[in-house]
Structure 1
Amino acid sequence: MARIVFGLATSHGPMLSTPPDLWRLRASADQKNQAHWYRGESLDYDSLLARRAPGFAAQLEPAAQQSSFDRCQRALDRLADRFAQAAPDVVLVLGNDQSEVFTEELVPAFTIYTGAAIENIPLSEEAVARLPPGIAIAEESHCPPGGATYAGAPELAGHLVSSLIDQEFDVATSTGMPRSLKAQEGIPHAFGYIYRRIMRDAPPPSVPIFTNVGVGLNRPRLRRCLAFGHALKRAIDILPADLRVAVVASGGLTHFCVDEELDRQVLDALMRRDEAALAAIPEAMFNGNTAEIRSWYPLAAAMHDSGLRMELLDYVACYRTPAGTGSAMGFAVWE
């Protein structure tokens, strides 16, 4: 019988791959942004700065930013080492798509990738040139130069789909990444970062699982994300092969407006295995890019059912403006 032997969750933001002295590239974009989500409200930069007075000037000192960056790199290295030590036969990767391959014509709530090959395709020079400030520098963190192709697990994915349908999760399926009219063609960055930084471009066969955490009207609610994790665990339990399975979540924590209080609330509930507390957080708190925290929910539910315990390797709030914009980084394993 298949069994879950390891879990992992990590942030994947560009600041993880950008030298701290260049975090100002994204800071300038933050100051022009008229729609920062903070605790359920959309605020322009000046309003956000006023709301968060006296601000975060101390965290913007070069030494403080370098310390935060270094802590993140150490945590990422530990995650990669722990994944390698777990040596799973197959991996389920939980992530999201930020309108990279799924466009407004069709945005599924849950999608299981059933293809035999997972393409990681670099952006064209023209596409890179169109990226917002401070994004292009991080491209190689989730896609190697020249690209890569990783092994899928179509038979395993098919079993998961059948079981989830039996459990009344009407999941979509995809045998190949849609050829978008936009910039991205291969697997989105939420997944590419895991393959490259955590699995070091040598992943075992894997099944990407997309949750629509933040686009449009059909975002699964927090309780549904937890229920999806329980259903995944039951689907793994009845797999016909004797496999060691790892489950990985990519994304989060709060960004691009860092909210350490909300992050600690989530992390504390995860550590206590308190699903009621996780589900009770108001949905409005997960607007904007902070919505990626939803990818941690199904992972946590599957880990609870597997009897695995969470170890928080580090939590690092990385700030880039006095208003508290930036990315909060979390790194955790379940064993």
Structure 2
Amino acid sequence: MARIVLGIGSSHTPQLSTTPDWWEDHAQRDRRNPELLGRDGELHIFDELLAEKSWNIDPSRLTPQVWADLHGRAQTAISELGRVLAEVDPDVLLVIGDDQEELFLDDGTPTFAIYWGDTIDDFAPDEHKQEAMPAGLRAALWAAHNDTRESYPVPSKLGLHLIESLMTEEFDVAQLRTQREGRSVGHAFTFARRRLMGDRVIPLLPLLINTYYPPNQPSPRRCYLLGRALRRAVENFPEDITVAVVASGGLSHFVVDEQLDRRVLDGLRNRDFESLSTIPRRYMRSGTSESLNWIAAGGALEGLTMNLVDYVPAYRSTAGTGVGMAFAVWR
């Protein structure tokens, strides 16, 4: 029988994979973002955040030295996650992440989906698309895509089993066996390959949750229950394999909400279904919605114990914008 032997949670923000001299560039994008999710669960422009003085960040937390320290902590945490993954050496990496107009566009965005082709391909945006990207995002592309096309092995038999099991449990899961031309697997999944796996390519099974795009995003409760159903499905798979579950993304961004992040992390550590499932849906929007990937993983990892490797509230402007970077291991 298959066994879940490891859980990993990791932010995958471009801020994590760019040196601190790029962080001001990321902050400039915040100034142009018309929909910044505030700590009140409402969308704001940058100047509205500045006007809410209780949300403002002391400039002493935005110095080059502070940013260098935060960046160093985040890199140390990523290294620790990679070390643990190599030590456990699972047969399969089940990555729970969101798609941001990579595999899915307006022609169809399912709430939940599993890709179960024999391989899935990673490739960078073409030269024209890269030229149109903000410089800070281009600087972080190395953590999302290989320079040349790379095919990752997919445990297709496990993928099919999970789809069938979830359907039996009344989760309507879209299934994909092929990629549409020109569409790479998304950065939530390639991040696990490029920043966690190291030299060994572990077969990767992508489970996609539509956290970002209305109107069909799932609730925190639905995501946790999905995770529980995933665990049962893995444990019923007849082959003797070991599985690691990875939650990719989050936590709060593009406004750091330390209180919300602590609620998510404490809920996962304590297996507190009630606290996690009652987070108001208005907070699970924009980049912060990637916390749903962690909540789903929490349901799958209830049998293991979560240890927080680090939580790094990486502010990048006085308006409180930035990313609540989190790194955790379940064993």
Q: TM-score range by the shorter chain?
A: over 0.9
In structure 2, the residue matched to 1:135 is 137
* Structure 1 position 203, deviation (Å): 2.5
1:260–1:52 CA distance, 2 compared to 1 (3 A): farther
Indicate the residue corresponding to 1:166 in structure 2.
Answer: 168
Total equivalences in the alignment: 329
- CA deviation digits over 1:130-157, x for unaligned, max 9? 1134101000112122132111111111
Letter in 1 for 2:33: N
Q: CA deviation at 1:73?
A: 0.2
| CA offset digits 1:249-290 (Å, max 9, x no partner) | 101000011111111111111111111101111111111110
2: CA distance, partners of 1:236 / 1:204: 17
Instruction: Confirm or deny that 1:46 pairs with 2:47.
Output: yes
Mapping for residues 172-251 of structure 1, pairs under 5 Å? 172-179=174-181, 185-200=183-198, 202-251=200-249
**Partners of 2:170 and 2:32 in 1: how far apart?**
44
Report deviation, 1:60.
Answer: 0.7
Cα distance in structure 1, aligned partners of 2:282 and 2:185: 28
Q: What is the distance in 2 between the residues matched to 1:49 and 1:239?
A: 52
Partner of 2:264: 266
Percent identity among equivalent residues?
Answer: 40
Question: Once superposed, what is the RMSD of the aligned Cα atoms?
Answer: 1.2
Secondary structure of the corresponding residue to residue 330 of structure 1: strand
**Residue 317 of structure 1, CA deviation:** 0.8
**TM superposition score normalised by structure 1:** 0.95
1:230-257 deviation line (CA, Å, top 9, x unaligned): 1101111110101111111101000011
Match of 2:254 among 256, 263, 266: 256
Is contact 2:153–2:203 with CA below 8 Å preserved after alignment? yes
Structure 2 CA distance, aligned partners of 1:282 and 1:136?
34
Distance between the aligned counterparts of 1:200 and 1:143, measured in 2?
A: 14
Provide the rounded CA distance (Å) in 2 between the counterparts of 1:35 and 1:170: 30
CA distance in 1, matches of 2:58, 2:188: 28
Q: Which moved more, 1:52-61 or 1:76-85?
A: 52-61
Q: CA deviation at 1:89?
A: 0.9
- Residue 195 of structure 1 contacts residue 201 of structure 1 at CA under 8 Å; is this kept in 2? no
Report the Cα distance in structure 1 between the residues aligned to 2:103 and 2:207, rounded to whole angstroms: 14
Alignment equivalent of 2:307, drawn from 294, 304, 311 = 311
Partner of 2:277: 279
Deviations 1:26-49 (A, max 9, x none): 111211222211131111111101
Looking at structure 2, the residues matched to 265 and 222 of structure 1 have their Cα atoms a distance apart, in angstroms, of 13
Gaps spanning 5+ residues in structure 2: where?
A: none
Q: TM-score, normalised by structure 2?
A: 0.97
Distance 2:108 2:285 in 1: 20
Asked whether the equivalents of residues 24 and 320 of structure 1 are also in contact (C-alpha less than 8 Å), the reply is yes
Give 1:78's aligned residue.
Answer: 80
Q: Using the alignment, how far apart are the partners of 2:314 and 2:297 within structure 1?
A: 24
Instruction: Mark the runs of 5 or more structure 1 residues left unpaired by the alignment.
Output: none
